[in-house]
Amino acid sequence: MERAGPSSVQPKQQRDQDWVEAWLDDHRDFTFSYFVRKATSWIISKMKEEEEEEEEEEEEEEEEEEEEAAEKWPAFILK
């Protein structure tokens, strides 16, 4: 695995980054399972967000349909 090249980071930051990358390389099983868990969690949360957005859109559409239907009826019938 390639290490990130030195860019505009400070020497201490570069050492810290090198240390973290070396640790991750030395603990590949942990690193792999960690990223799989995080990715799975992220995907699930995005799916839930999409479901909630779809439900909100459906509710808004239903409200609009009800309002349109109410506008078609004469006022005395609705009272």
Task: Give the Å distances, CA to CA, from 4 to 28, 36, 75.
Answer: 17, 22, 71
**Token representation of residue 39:** 């990715």
> Which percentage of the chain shows pLDDT scores above 70?
81
Domain residue ranges in the chain: 10-52
Helices of type H across the chain? 11-26, 28-72, 75-78
Taking only the tens place, the pLDDT of each residue in 27-60 is 999 999 999 999 999 999 999 999 999 999 999 9
pTM for this predicted structure: 0.49
